[in-house]
Structure 1
Amino acid sequence: MKLSARDAPGYFARPDPDKTGILIYGGDAMRVALRRQQVVKALVGPQGEEEMRLTRMLAGDLRKDPAALSDAIKAQSFFPGPRVVFLEDAGEQQAPLILPALEDWQPGDAQVVITAGALKATSKLRKFFEGHRNAYAVGIYDDPPSRGEIEAALKEAGLGELGQDALRDLSALALTIDPGDFRQTLEKLALYKLGDPAPFSAADIAACAPGSTEAEIDDVLDIVAEARPGEIGPVMQRLSAQGVHATGLCIGAIRHFRILYAVASAPGGPSEGISRLRPPVFGPRRDRILRQAQAWGAARLEDALTMIIETDLQLRSAGQNAPAMALVERTLIRLAMLGRR
């Protein structure tokens, strides 16, 4: 049977132990692995592997021992409870070795959990599971997690109830990082607040969120947007020493001021604009961008974007001879001065 995207999260949390198995496939290996981990843990419990009720196998190894999967399905454990055979990295080339073992499945045998990469609709594995009355097939796609999934992850991490603002920021964070990083962030947040009875705040989430690789560039752009021209020089020297290129800095400036313009020019005002950003921003960063957009206004941001784009074109010009970083630094200082008006 085909498990729909709407029903899949509920089944992953409470799988049926009497099913033949489930095929979890998708192009994002991390998302597939997290779902597989959730299903296996729900079926055999935290002690399943120690009690030898979980058997792990690589699909590629079936070529050496075609009967291995069937033997694992039929094997019995010394401990009572559901048993699972986890078959990893299955593909169409292993289908002739996998399907006979599944067709021979009987009640009381171990449930088979199979993970695979992206599978076409014509895939033999997909067609078998989708057409089976006692098995499920579910595709995992790069969709952002729903609010229910985020709340379930919070509960699993031991974070309990969060306020609306903290939940909003976590939802925004979930859209910008991959599921593995998001789960690690929740675990880090739980440790960060261990023994602290105070409610979770946006600052707590920002402190535990993964650091951006563009943080240094963001620092100088915040200085520019907040009209602090005297601080630009030292930061530019640090960026040059770290190997940041003038073109990359210019592209970052265009991106930053376009975000500010989108916020400032929203029909319902900056508050509406900040909520419509994709990908969203969260925590103190959200408040900072909102303040910058309100201070500049749409008209001055148009002038700023024109200035940055002209500098970018000058950098890319064949006749450009001036030092590139000096050219960008001059533009950033002019922008900071424009923000003071």
Structure 2
Amino acid sequence: MKITAGKADGFIKNPPPDIRCILIYGPDQGLVFERSKALGGLILDDLNDPFNSVILQAPDVKADPAIIADEAAALSMMGGRRFIRIQDAADSLSAAFKAYLADPVGDAMIVLEGGDLSPRSSLRKLFEADKSIAAALPCYGDEGRNLSDVVRETLQKHGLNADRDAMGYLLNHLGSDRQVSRGELEKLAIYMGDETLVTMEHAIACVGDSGAFSLDNVIMAAANGDHANLETTLLRCFDEGNQPIMILRMLARHFHKLHLAKGHMQKGLNIDQAMAKLRPPIIFKQAPNFKKQLGSWDLKRISMAMDIITEAEGDCKNSAYPPETITSRALMRIAQAARVRR
């Protein structure tokens, strides 16, 4: 069964009773873990239950495929259903699960925690095509309404609310990984103490670490066509541990916003009106640069930049060249395009 991203939360809360073998995959590994834990909570009162909770590693399953059926059919000493997690699931498990799904045993819930499996993944295809007990669902980085819900839900749990500027800042600096986002918001809640209204100053002081600022500087330098600043900030970004694919995805998100704003302008809105319609809103410190970019980038070159980013991400995953080199070249190409006069 194929579960779309939009229906994933509903599925996790109330999976069909006949579905007991679930592949959770995607680039947001924090969300993969969170959803796996939520499914476990439907089966067990305690995820650390030594009798009913089992964690297996993908290499162990590949080496001994029979372990799937053995664990699924095993009877609990204390009664109740068993919950089996298989970590780092990948295409190497396809043959083992093809055999298991053809002849499933037991009533245990089996959850496979996978990485960013492409549509060509044999494991993903196997689970999506199964019509009996299996399902596959994706976990993509939070953005838009989903991210707003995560931020509001986490803050409200601590009796907090965020003003408009703080919310805009949080939405621009969180979202690539659900677990990281929640961790940053929990840190913010502790920082707030007895105060209940999160302001821009609070958000920057707590969530705005140096890595986030370095990443912002890289994005702005590339889109502004500032080669000298781009080279310096990109090196710093890599030194701070920012991954090339994360940098590319943040840049893609920025150009997507430029594309949306230019679309609003083509419908007759001026620059300020077009920027005001963006959600999440552009934070005030970035607004002057963003406005300048709207004046210098046309839709054709914005689309070209997005193609460069998409190509670079694919090369990072499949090419023999270092991802840092691929990302640097892509950003330099975009910076050069920013300097071309229309």
Equivalence map 1:167-246=2 (5 Å):
167-174=167-174, 177-196=176-195, 198-213=196-211, 215=213
Uncovered stretches (5+) of structure 2, i.e. residues with no partner = 218-225, 234-250, 252-257, 297-342
Are 1:287 and 2:284 matched, yes or no?
A: yes
Aligned residue number for residue 35 of structure 1: 35
Uncovered stretches (5+) of structure 1, i.e. residues with no partner = 220-245, 302-341
Cα displacement (A) at 1:49: 1.6
Helix, strand or coil at the partner of 1:19: coil
Equivalence map 1:3-152=2 (5 Å):
3-16=3-16, 19-27=19-27, 29-45=29-45, 47-106=46-105, 109-117=107-115, 118-121=117-120, 123=122, 126-142=125-141, 144-148=142-146, 150-152=148-150
Q: CA RMSD in A?
A: 4.4
Equivalence map 1:153-164=2 (5 Å):
154-155=152-153, 158-159=157-158, 162=161
Cα displacement (A) at 1:7: 0.7
Instruction: Name the aligned partner's letter for residue 170 of structure 2.
Output: L
Greater Rg, structure 1 or structure 2? 1
Aligned residue number for residue 249 of structure 1: 229
Aligned residue number for residue 273 of structure 2: 272
Preserved contact between residue 94 and residue 123 of structure 2 (Cα < 8 Å)? yes
Helix, strand or coil at the partner of 1:113: strand
Q: How high is the TM-score relative to the length of structure 2?
A: 0.59
Alpha-carbon distance between aligned partners in 2 of 1:271 and 1:159, rounded to the nearest angstrom: 35
Preserved contact between residue 20 and residue 111 of structure 1 (Cα < 8 Å)? yes
Instruction: Name the aligned partner's letter for residue 151 of structure 1.
Output: D
Alpha-carbon distance between aligned partners in 2 of 1:61 and 1:99, rounded to the nearest angstrom: 17
For structure 1, which segment, 52-61 or 93-102, has the greater mean C-alpha deviation from structure 2 after superposition? 93-102
Cα displacement (A) at 1:97: 1.9
Preserved contact between residue 25 and residue 119 of structure 1 (Cα < 8 Å)? no
Q: How high is the TM-score relative to the length of structure 1?
A: 0.59
Cα displacement (A) at 1:23: 1.0
Change (3 A) 1:131 1:67: closer
Preserved contact between residue 19 and residue 132 of structure 2 (Cα < 8 Å)? no
Change (3 A) 1:93 1:150: same
Helix, strand or coil at the partner of 2:4: coil
Matched residues, percent identical? Answer: 23
